[in-house]
Copies of this chain bind each other. A is one copy, B any other.
Amino acid sequence: MIKFLNGTLLRFYVKKLSDLGERKAIQLISEILSKGDVAVGIGDDCAAIDMGEEYLLVSTDMISQKTHIPEQMTPFQIGWFIVAINLSDIAAKGGMPLGLVLSFGLPKETSEIFLKELTKGADACATTFDTHIIGGDTKEAGDITICGTAFGVVKKDEFMPRKGTCPDDVVAVTGALGKAGAGHFNLKNKILDEDISKALLEPVPKLKEGRLLAGQKCVTSCMDLSDGLSSSLYQLSELNNVGFEINQSKIPLSSELLQLQKKQCNLNIFDFALHFGGDYELLVTIPKVYFEKIKEILEKNGTDLIAIGKVTREKEIIISIGDEKKTLENKGYEHFKKQFF
């Protein structure tokens, strides 16, 4: 369709990343790349390399000033955040982290204090989860752009893939949803004085939950909820050729969301819990027969596992609200495309 080579006209015909969206861009990349003998490649939370009895897990995540760093985020929180979101991918595969490397792309006017606080935040998150930053790179860049790579190990029979779930499995999450959405709304609209944005700015990777779940060796699929619940369910549906039925009343709502609702009555809190990303809870599917036992084990260890629905044969994602059943829309955030909030 490119008929005119004059720059201005050409611009109307060239497909851009804003037309593709993040997931199509990743698909395009995946189609071009040569496949090695990697056990799990692009499209899961981590890549996994066969190391004999174990998999080496590798995950990488980038954030940039323009699109991921709210102006209220302190440099300490930026450092915490980049480590937490990378560890969350290791958690989602049941892994034990071995370490992280970080690359800081920073404008040359960046202050020494900013760099110190950024490093302290990254270090604090890593050490909180018994791991370390073992290397990195510091480069001059136009905008603040930070990239982290986490690596870990998991025994082969404990690895929790994205692909593997079957109809009738229980769908569960490891904690309350809507924390990050509430935090984002609060930052944008300055409704509450107290800091209800902490969960958005300092997320907690569910490493303990991931290890506990993996140890049971019967999780059929797992991913973190960084993209939000609806988007994640659509991704699992596509990959596993199944559908889901989610019971809205079972979805655990975060206290931050309920606090917000008190101040802002007309708020549709389920929009936050269903569609907003950034909560970093784990979304798992577990065969019905094992679910109660596993829930009990997690609770004995002080962590939650909340059933919110089931896997279905029909490739459709249904949300049931009381007696009403309707299709759950896929309204999750996708990079390069417009955000729905």
Contacts and interface: CB of A to CB of B under 8 A. Distances in A.
A28 B136 CA distance: 13
A68 B138 CA distance: 13
A143 interface: yes
Interface in A69-103: 98-99, 101-103
A274 interface: no
A210 to B, nearest CB: 18
Interface stretch (A57-65, A167-175, A190-198, A238-246): A57-65
Contacts of A17: 106-112, 115, 140
A10 to B, nearest CB: 10
A143 B142 contact: yes
A336 B67 CA distance: 24
A9 interface: no
Contacts of A126: 34
Interface of A: 14-20, 22, 25-26, 28-29, 32-36, 38, 41-42, 46-47, 49, 51, 56, 58-68, 98-99, 101-113, 115-116, 119-120, 122-123, 126-127, 131-143, 145, 147, 149, 151, 335-336
Given A56-B98, A58-B134, A145-B145, 15 more contacts: A17-B110, A18-B109, A34-B126, A41-B135, A42-B136, A59-B135, A60-B101, A60-B135, A61-B103, A62-B147, A65-B142, A68-B139, A105-B145, A140-B336, A151-B151
Pick the 6 closest A-B CB pairs, nearest first.
A36-B132, A47-B135, A147-B147, A64-B141, A62-B103, A149-B149
